[in-house]
Amino acid sequence: MTKASDARSGLVALAALALLASAPGASAQTPTTSGRATAMQATVTGPLGPTTTALGSTGGLVDDGDARTAALLTGSIPSVGGANVLHAATISSIEGWNPGEDVTSEASLADLVLTVAGNAISASFAMAQARAPVGAAATGSCSLQELAVNGVPIATSGAESQTVSIPGLRLVINEVQRTASGITVNGLHVTTLDGAVDVVVASATAAIGQ
């Protein structure tokens, strides 16, 4: 199923992703909300150039009154892999820009199976969450269960941006990218060293800014 009430879900090919979306007509002085969640996304560079494919993506929040969700029972990206029970949501809870109101995003999937540069990568469950509250610093979290590479279990430390390097490949677990206005948490980020394949699993972004 590729459906959601107003999410651009399902198999969507995007030439480029705009990470943040601003409310139409917002002035420079008006606070803006940004949110996006994607269960899985892969960019594969072929002879014709890079192609990006996202599964279970909410797209960006339109404004501070927006909420978006996406769900897929199963999904796959050719030559990369797939997963089941893909889920993504990004929700603004802003009403009066009061402290504690926030933007939250979450992305998850189960039964992840990837093959990247000849390496088998699997996880039983992955989830990333991002929260940007009014008047406080953004926070994030990540859960990655039963991660294995070529059948070898990889222990997750819980630390931000835990990196695992294997020949020709780099894995970043709980990858955290902070900006002045928010945070992006990627549950798992897999890249080949030649840059030909870039896979992000469970990505959640939340931000509040001017």
Partner 1 sequence: MSKPACSRLLLALAALGLVMAGGLFEAARAQGQCPCDSMSGAGKASITTSGGKASFGFTGGVKQGSFWGDLTYKDYDLGLTVEGTAVTGYAATSPNTRIISGSARTNLYGDRTYRITATDGRTTFQIDLDNGYSRQGPLLSGKITLHDGNRKSTPPPGYTCGIPPDATPPTATIVSPGPGSTVSGSTMVSANASDDVGLAGVQFELDGAPLGAEDTAAPYSVPWNTATAANGSHTLTAVARDTSNNTGASSPVAVTVSNAPPDTTPPTVTITSPSSGSVVSSVITVAASASDNVGVTGVQFKLDGAPLGGEDTAAPYSASWDTRTASNGSHTLTAVARDAAGNTGASSPVAVTVLNVLTGPDVFVALTNGQVQWRNSDGLLLRVLVGTSAGQASSLNFDSARNLYVPHWYNTVGGLPGNTIERFDANGNLILGTFGSGYNCDPSSVTFDPAGNAYVGQADCTGDILKFGPGGDPSASFDVPVTQRGTDHIDLAADGCTMFYASRDKNIYRYNVCTHTVLPNFNLQPLPGTSAFHVRILPDRGVLVADYEVITRLDAAGNVVQTYDVPSEAGHFWGGVDFVGDGTFWASNGYTSHVFRFNIVTGAVVSSFIASTDLTAAGVAVRR
Residue 83 or residue 116: which is nearer to partner 1 going by CB? 83
Residues from 106 through 135 that contact partner 1 (CB under 8 A): 106, 108, 110-111, 124-125, 127, 129
Cross-strand partners of 188: 173, 201
| Alpha-carbon torsion angle 91, 95, 97, 101, nearest 10 | -50
| Distance (Å, whole) CA 176 – CA 45 | 24
| Cβ at position 148, least distance to partner 1 in Å | 15
- Residues 148 to 187: which contact partner 1 by CB under 8 A? none
Q: Which is nearer to partner 1, 3 or 170 (CB)?
A: 3
Residues 30 and 22: their CA atoms lie apart, in Å, by: 10
Shortest separation between residue 47's beta carbon and partner 1, angstroms: 35
The CB-of-165 to partner 1 minimum distance in angstroms stands at: 26
Helical (H) or strand (E) element with 113: strand 102-116
Which residue among 87, 122, 182, 208 contacts partner 1 (CB under 8 A)? 87
Choosing from 12, 60, 101, 201, the residue that interacts with partner 1 (CB under 8 A) is: 101
| Of residues 130, 56, 59, 57, the one with CA closest to residue 86 | 56
CB 51 within 8 A of CB 101: no
Min dist. Cβ of residue 53 to partner 1 (A): 19
Q: How many helices (H) and strands (E) does the chain have?
A: 0, 14
Binding residues for partner 1 (CB under 8 A): 1, 3-5, 7, 64-67, 69-74, 84-89, 91-95, 101, 104, 106, 108, 110-111, 124-125, 127, 129, 143, 145
